[in-house]
Amino acid sequence: METKSENACFGGVQGVYTHASKATGTDMTFGLFLPAEARDGPVPVLWYLSGLTCTHENAMTKAGAQGWAAEQGIALVFPDTSPRGEDVADDEAFDMGQGAGFYVDATQDPWAKHFQMRSYVTEELPALIGAEFALDMERQAITGHSMGGHGALTLAMSLPGRFRSVSAFSPICNPSASDWGRKQLSAYLGDDDAVHAAHDASRLMAERGFDGPMLLDTGTNDQFLDLLMPETLAEAAAKRRQQSILRLQPGYDHSYFFVSSFMEDHVTFHAEALYAG
């Protein structure tokens, strides 16, 4: 693992690190914020999964999360959204291929060789950071934005016991029924609808739900609302009686101005779960 940069930040350290990934067969870069408390011992971990076109860097620089994480004594992990490189398959569309891994393990050519983002984010990277940094991997929570909201929700529901709480900003809620999802899931995983269902937050909610608290924020002026389909997840969560807070925020759009506006709420929400019991 190579340290790309480390910057003092809200009393802690915002680092960027690169390592050779077995899961993706490429070098992978991630951001990690460690609060001051990590100097004295392991701290809880909040994962932030980013959206389409993003790298590890977008949220790290624009989401305004570090200040609130510092206040709560929580670490933040910012993984990349796909494998990258000249030898890695890609697509002309901004929403396919590099920058658009959708947090699944691809089974179809040409994607299967490198696009193993689920294994990377849920197995390889946790093992690495748990070994290298002062992190309490028994206390993890997860959030994300847009495609990363999809990632946070689907990983949280499909890995019971892993995450104590889940939240999302403007998540893709029903990818198997949306142009943000159908194309990508078919390309990465094939056309079996049962396979798509396992990576669809609304359908996972209907099927199994999440054993913990859930917080969702979406802007009423989000320019991608018809692709996000918050109504399907809202219905499924209410029908299941899922412990949840579902908010439609008036006037906000899909940008990081929106994400940063509500970041305090999300970090505080996760801190309550991470420090309980």
**Closest CB to its own copies among residues 189, 229:** 229
**Closest CB to its own copies among residues 142, 215:** 215
Per annotation, catalytic residue among 95, 105, 217, 222? 222
Q: Which residues bind its own copies (CB under 8 A)?
A: 213, 220, 225, 230-239, 241-250
CB–CB of 134/41 below 8 Å?
yes
Active site residue 254: yes
DSSP secondary-structure letter at 116?
B
Q: How far is the CB of 229 from its own copies (least distance, A)?
A: 9
In order of 136, 144, 222, 251, the CA distances from 213 in angstroms are 20, 15, 24, 26
CB–CB of 244/216 below 8 Å?
yes
Per annotation, catalytic residue among 21, 50, 82, 146? 146
Q: How far is the CB of 157 from its own copies (least distance, A)?
A: 16
- Phi, psi for residue 135 in degrees, rounded to 5: -120, 140
Q: How far is the CB of 218 from its own copies (least distance, A)?
A: 8
**Closest CB to its own copies among residues 43, 236:** 236
Residue 142 token pair: 């997860």
Q: How far is the CB of 173 from its own copies (least distance, A)?
A: 9
Q: Mapping DSSP to helix (H, G, I), strand (E, B) and coil, where does residue 98 land? A: coil
Place of tokens 């949280």: 156
Active-site residue numbers? 146, 222, 254
